[in-house]
Amino acid sequence: MVRAWFMDSSDTDQRQPHMQEPPQFVDLATLRELSGVEYYKMDADGYLEDSALKKMREDRGYSYEDLIEIKKDTLPNYEVKIKAFFEEHLHSDEEIRLIIDGSGYFDVRDKDDKWIRIECVKGDLLILPAGIYHRFTLDTKNYIKAVRLFVGEPVWTPINRPADDHPARINYVKTVVAQ
């Protein structure tokens, strides 16, 4: 089961859980309400053939798919990428990730600009809406492998905060934050 929680305010090691004391967990319905983030459980082993994933590809028009493996010795420019993933940013499109091995944290800003940390493990599929401020980090196990999905030709460009005038941000504020 995926878990999410409001983060503490300490800026020590990003790979630690950073839960508050006591922990302030966020359930999936609340996560969606506060951020627009969608979560689905998928069959990570059989994902190529999984009917739920197949339906999602069709329904949402996910025509592009590749794999990203974040591992020190095999990902080119590892340190640079790790740093860029953890810079607060947004994208002009959804960020869709299905975790097929390992684990990591997606941090998203909620409507009140508070950080919610989403712990992702094998079988978790997350859809971060276009325009949401977010970041990603590995956890202390230092390994994740994920499928990246996209509608059409992929654009992975991160637009670092502040990007409040970006059209995707304006639309996100209108459709999620202001609701």
Contacting residues toward ligand KMT, per CB under 6 A: 68, 85, 95, 97, 104, 136, 144, 146
Select from ligand KMT, Ni ion, none the partner in contact with residue 67, using the beta carbon and a kind-dependent cut-off of 5 to 8 Å.
Answer: none
Q: List the one residue out of 17, 52, 42 whose CA is nearest residue 100.
A: 42
* Min separation Cβ 134 and Ni ion, Å: 6
> Under a CB-based contact definition with an 8 Å cutoff, are residues 45 and 66 in contact?
no
Select from Ni ion, ligand KMT, none the partner in contact with residue 110, using the beta carbon and a kind-dependent cut-off of 5 to 8 Å.
Answer: none
* Min separation Cβ 81 and ligand KMT, Å: 8
Q: List the one residue out of 73, 75, 88, 105 whose CA is nearest residue 162.
A: 88
Task: Map the footprint of Ni ion across residues 83-102, applying CB under 5 A.
Answer: 95
Strand partners, 3: 119
* Min separation Cβ 126 and ligand KMT, Å: 9
Q: What are phi and psi of 28, to 5 degrees?
A: -65, -35
Q: List the one residue out of 160, 159, 176 whose CA is nearest residue 112.
A: 176
Select from ligand KMT, Ni ion, none the partner in contact with residue 139, using the beta carbon and a kind-dependent cut-off of 5 to 8 Å.
Answer: none
- The DSSP-derived string for 138-163 is E-TT--EEEEEEESSS-----EESP-
- 18: tokens are 């950073």
95 vs 124, beta carbon nearer Ni ion: 95
Q: What are phi and psi of 70, to 5 degrees?
A: -105, 105
51 vs 77, beta carbon nearer Ni ion: 77
* Min separation Cβ 23 and Ni ion, Å: 25
36 vs 104, beta carbon nearer ligand KMT: 104
Total binding residues for Ni ion by CB under 5 A? Answer: 1
**Positions that interact with Ni ion (CB under 5 A):** 95
